[in-house]
Structure 1
Amino acid sequence: MGAEPGRRRYDSLRRTTQAQETRAEIARAARRLFVSRGWAATTVRDVAREAGVSAPTVYAAYGNKAGLTRALADAADLSADASRMLAELEAPGTDPERQLAAMAAYDRRLFERAGDVITLVREAGRTEPELAAAYRDGRRRGDETRVRVFSSWPDGVLRSGLDVRSAVDVYAAVCNIDVYTTLTVERGWSPERVERWWSGVLARELLA
Structure 2
Amino acid sequence: MSAEVGRRRYDSLRRTTQALETRAGIAEAARRLFVERGWAATTVRDVAREAGVSVPTVYSVYGNKAGLTRALADAADLSGDVAQLLAELEAPEAGPGRQLAVMAAFDRRLFERAGDVITLVREASRTEPELADVYRDGRARADETRVAVFSSWPAGTLRAGLDVRAAVDVYAGLCSIDVYTTLTAERGWSPDRVEKWWCEALVRELLSPP
Settle same-fold status: TM greater than 0.5. Answer: yes
> What are the Cα deviations for residues 125-172 of structure 1, in whole angstroms up to 9, with x where unaligned?
011111110000000000000000000000010001110011000000
> How well do the aligned residues superpose, as a CA RMSD in angstroms?
1.3
Report the residue type matching 1:51 in the other structure. Answer: A
Q: Does 1:68 align with 2:65?
A: no
In structure 2, list runs of 5 or more residues that go unmatched.
none
**Aligned residue identity for 2:115:** G
Quick one: distance in 1 between partners of 2:83 and 2:5? 39
Q: Normalising by the residue count of structure 1, what TM-score does the alignment of the two structures yield?
A: 0.97
**Structure 1 equivalent of residue 93 of structure 2:** 93
Q: What's the counterpart of residue 199 of structure 1?
A: 199
Shift of 1:93: 1.4
Give the aligned partner of residue 168 of structure 1: 168
List aligned pairs for 1:53-202, cutoff 5 A: 53-202=53-202
1:33 counterpart letter in structure 2: L
Distance 2:39 2:9 in 1: 40
Letter in 2 for 1:195: E
- For residues 80 and 174 of structure 2, the distance between their equivalents in structure 1, rounded to whole angstroms, comes to 18
- State the identity as a percent: 80
Counterpart CA distance in 2 for 1:38 and 1:57 is: 22
1:7, distance to aligned residue in structure 2 (A): 3.8
SS of the aligned residue for 1:158 comes to: coil
Look up the equivalent residue of 1:161 and give its one-letter code.
G
The answer to whether structure 1 residue 17 and structure 2 residue 21 are counterparts is: no
Q: Across the two proteins, how many residue pairs are aligned to each other?
A: 208
Deviation at 1:10, TM superposition (A): 1.0
Q: CA deviation at 1:92?
A: 1.8
Q: Which residue of 1 aligns with 2:33?
A: 33
Quick one: distance in 2 between partners of 1:93 and 1:189?
A: 30
